[in-house]
Amino acid sequence: MLKPDLSQTEDLAALIDASPSPRLACKEVARRLTEAGFHEIHDRDSWDNIEGGWFVRRAGSLHAGFEPANMDKTRGFRLLGAHTDSPNLRLKPKPDSGRVGYRQLGIEVYGGALLNSWLDRDLGISGTVWIDGDNQPSPLDFHLDEPLLRVPQLAIHLHRELRTEGLKLNAQTHMTPVFGLGKQKEGDFQEWLCERLEIDPKSALSFEIMTHDLTPSRLTGPNREFLSAPRLDNLLSTWAATMSLLNCAKKDLERATVITLFDHEEVGSSSRSGAQGPHLRHILERLILQRGGNREDYLRALADSVCVSADMAHAVHPNYADKHDPHHQVAINAGPVIKVNQNMRYASEGETQALFEQACRTADVPFQKWSMRSDLACGSTIGPLTAMNLGIGVVDVGCPQLAMHSAREFAGSADPGWMVAAMTTFCQN
């Protein structure tokens, strides 16, 4: 079995800490690709003679690939898919709020966040300000990694029913973070933010702002066997896809490797930068066209393509083992998980499962198979959407974790490196 490389997990932790928002995640991936010799292309540019490494960004999504020289027009792709977004608390367009002497900021819950996990934490903010330009607004991404907000929990002395009824949180009334003291006034926060970012408040047109936990990602446990971090779902897979692409770029492969990192998976993927949109389909067709192919060549290339959809998997929980199918209890630090659902909430089919299992065996990486309890609803991924939009084979996989959708998640330190090895080998076969 391949020996775990914890230096890779430390590199993953660095990417996570640099990426509190989807746009910043794309910025960090783009930085790494650029350092490796990849070049950025744009949707509105002509894509003539694309060879070598390339990437294209759209909002909080990034697609990248390595195109070997003299590729056959009908040669297909090996795709590695993930998503860049995670559940969190996001500021409303007019956030200034407050009661009884506190300045607060109104939030909307993004995705299926575990609300209790956001209580009593020091929160920073990140996001984007769109600034008035000569022809069109220009984005300014920012990352304020300092304690600015907090959602204090009600003391048990004032909440005696907590012990009998449990914690019940209302997203509108209980999750409004404290920002400061004093009387709130509309526009105060925007003025404060513009001053911090050293921009003219009159030039700021719109804002997209989210909160994040300030505790750094770190390896934990007596033998550093765990990774404690925010946004493991799904920046771990984003990192693994990126590292696999960089590995493949160093090899003389017969097929182009493409990573596709979508935004908005946690809210259904129905956006121009989400997996339900046409962006990936357009990119792949343009790659075939720049090879000198036509529409028929593009369709033939799709028939020769297959995708790994990587999202996190549910490790068996020691305190809730009965929530898992007794024959599908996957473990932390036991290798990548192949995810199967007979109702196609995951896109894995027998053939695509076999391809990924073969890659794991070749890479000397342990692997596991997972299926949900039959009496519980199953979540989904970008996998079924990719299979539907492109008509290609997809296998859904992921690294096992605990505390999914918490502000602070928990995984194994050995699994990320094994996922990279499996993905890289998958693209080489």
Enclosing H/E stretch for 22: helix 22-35
**Confidence bin at 198 (pLDDT 50/70/90):** very high
Q: Give CA–CA dist 143/141, Å, rounded.
A: 7
Percent of the chain with pLDDT over 70: 100
Beta bridge partners of 149: 123
pLDDT average, residue stretch 308-324: 97
User: Mean pLDDT of all residues in the chain?
Assistant: 96
Percent of the chain with pLDDT over 90: 92
Looking at per-residue pLDDT, the higher value among 1 and 197 belongs to 197
What is the tens place of the pLDDT at every residue in 49-85? Answer: 788 899 999 999 999 999 988 889 999 999 999 999 9
**Confidence bin at 429 (pLDDT 50/70/90):** confident
Residue 179 has pLDDT above 90, yes or no: yes
pLDDT average, residue stretch 30-45: 96
Tokens of 101: 């002497």
- pLDDT at position 270, please? 93
- pLDDT at position 50, please? 85
Q: Give CA–CA dist 218/18, Å, rounded.
A: 13
Backbone angles phi, psi at 198, to 5 degrees: 60, 50
Query: How is 62-112 classified by DSSP, letter by letter?
Result: EEEEEE-TT--TT--EEEEEEE----EEEEEEEEEEEETTEEEEEEEEESS
- pLDDT at position 23, please? 98
What is the tens place of the pLDDT at every residue in 261-290? Answer: 999 999 999 999 999 999 999 999 999 999
pLDDT average, residue stretch 84-95: 97
What is the tens place of the pLDDT at every residue in 5-23? Answer: 999 999 999 999 999 999 9
* DSSP-H helix ranges across 188-255: 188-197, 232-249
pLDDT average, residue stretch 320-348: 95
Walk me through the domains of the chain, giving residue ranges and CATH numbers.
6-86+230-428 (3.40.630.10), 88-213 (2.30.250.10)
Residue 305 has pLDDT above 90, yes or no: yes
What is the tens place of the pLDDT at every residue in 120-149? Answer: 999 999 999 999 987 789 999 999 999 999
**Confidence bin at 254 (pLDDT 50/70/90):** confident
Nearest-10 Cα torsion for 35, 39, 40, 44: 170
Looking at per-residue pLDDT, the higher value among 16 and 160 belongs to 16
Q: Which residue from 222, 266, 288 is spatially nearest to 50, judged by alpha carbons?
A: 288
Residue 252 has pLDDT above 80, yes or no: no
- pLDDT at position 142, please? 98
- pLDDT at position 394, please? 98
**Confidence bin at 357 (pLDDT 50/70/90):** very high
- pLDDT at position 306, please? 98
- pLDDT at position 186, please? 92
- pLDDT at position 422, please? 98
What is the tens place of the pLDDT at every residue in 364-393? Answer: 999 999 999 999 888 999 999 999 999 999
- pLDDT at position 27, please? 98
